[in-house]
Amino acid sequence: MMSYLTFGKGQDLILGHGMAQNKNLWLENGWIKELSKIRRVHIFDFPGHGDNLNMDESNFSVQKMANYILEISNDIKSESFDYMGFSMGARAGFELASCENNLNRIISLGMHPGAPYLEKKRFNKRAKAMKNLGEKTGEKKYIIYSKIFEKALNWEGAIDKISWKNEKHKIIIGENDDNYELTKSIMKNKDKKVLFTLEGVNHKNTFNEPKHSLSAIINFLQDNR
């Protein structure tokens, strides 16, 4: 049986967390309080995280994580749903948006749709750091995070697989985010309105401080019904 929590009423909105996070952080950081006023919001744990920590590593690829989102949409019997993901969760959302399914709109927080291979050195460094931490502490979760980083490198990205439209896609990213310059470069020949920049905001606070982007998110979800 799938594990997820649901809040509010209205059109379905599924939220996908980032690496080393879990579904409860959407509650703790205040996202649910505001978004559940306009949507029926669903939060869940990705494979290798939270309640799904012990899922087999065959589920750790970007494609399998995207499929997990679809499984949630099927379980809630949604004919059409919106999706918002942060970092790793956004990457799974881009994969979903590149395929034919019942996804309506997607919002990315702090992530670009390019292939992780573009940042291979950084990904390998993080994978190694997580593995070393796991071996040092004996905590299984760090070994799992290491494997997720490694599997992400096999994803070819979705930049040219998505027909970018301002009314369907929104990439929200802070100008102090390490991913910002690469995101701007990747999206420079796409619909310019898709990219929304948060002035003075870094990667972490894009998620931890909803106040920076909530108005833009709510307007995007409500203005394009």
Question: Which of 103, 128, 154 lies at the terminal end of a domain, its last residue?
Answer: 154
Q: How far is CA 31 from the centre of its chain?
A: 14
Q: Give the residue with greater pLDDT, 56 vs 1.
A: 56
pTM for the structure as a whole: 0.96
Burial of 34 (0-12, 13-18, 19+ CB in 10 A): middle
Asked if 11 and 78 sit in the same domain, the reply is yes
Q: Which residue has the tokens 């993901």?
A: 85
Asked if 87 and 107 sit in the same domain, the reply is yes
Asked if 53 and 142 sit in the same domain, the reply is no
Residues in Cβ contact with 192 at an 8 Å cutoff, skipping those fewer than 6 apart = none
pLDDT band at residue 225 under the 50/70/90 scheme: very low
> Domain range for residue 139?
116-154
Asked if 36 and 91 sit in the same domain, the reply is yes
Percent of the chain beyond pLDDT 90?
Answer: 92
Size of the chain, expressed as the number of residues it contains: 225
Q: What is the mean pLDDT of the chain?
A: 95
Percent of the chain beyond pLDDT 70?
Answer: 99
pLDDT band at residue 224 under the 50/70/90 scheme: low
Position 1 pLDDT exceeds 70: no
Asked if 83 and 164 sit in the same domain, the reply is yes
Encoded amino acid at 97, one letter = A
Question: Which of 131, 154, 177 lies at the terminal end of a domain, its last residue?
Answer: 154
Provide the pLDDT for residue 70: 96
Asked if 81 and 126 sit in the same domain, the reply is no
**CA distances to 57, 60, 113, 122, 146 from 132, in Å:** 18, 19, 28, 15, 9
Residues 105 and 221 sit within 8 Å (Cβ to Cβ): yes
Provide the pLDDT for residue 100: 86
* CATH code of the domain in which 85 resides: 3.40.50.1820
Position 109 pLDDT exceeds 60: yes
- Structure-token pair, residue 128: 């190694």
**CA distances to 21, 142, 143, 162, 213 from 185, in Å:** 28, 31, 32, 16, 22
Provide the pLDDT for residue 53: 87
Residues in Cβ contact with 109 at an 8 Å cutoff, skipping those fewer than 6 apart = 84, 85, 86, 87, 90, 172, 173, 206, 207, 213
Asked if 122 and 170 sit in the same domain, the reply is no
Asked if 90 and 104 sit in the same domain, the reply is yes
**What is the domain count for the chain?**
2
Asked if 123 and 105 sit in the same domain, the reply is no
- Interval 68-89: pLDDT, tens: 999 999 999 999 999 999 999 9
Residues 71 and 7 sit within 8 Å (Cβ to Cβ): no
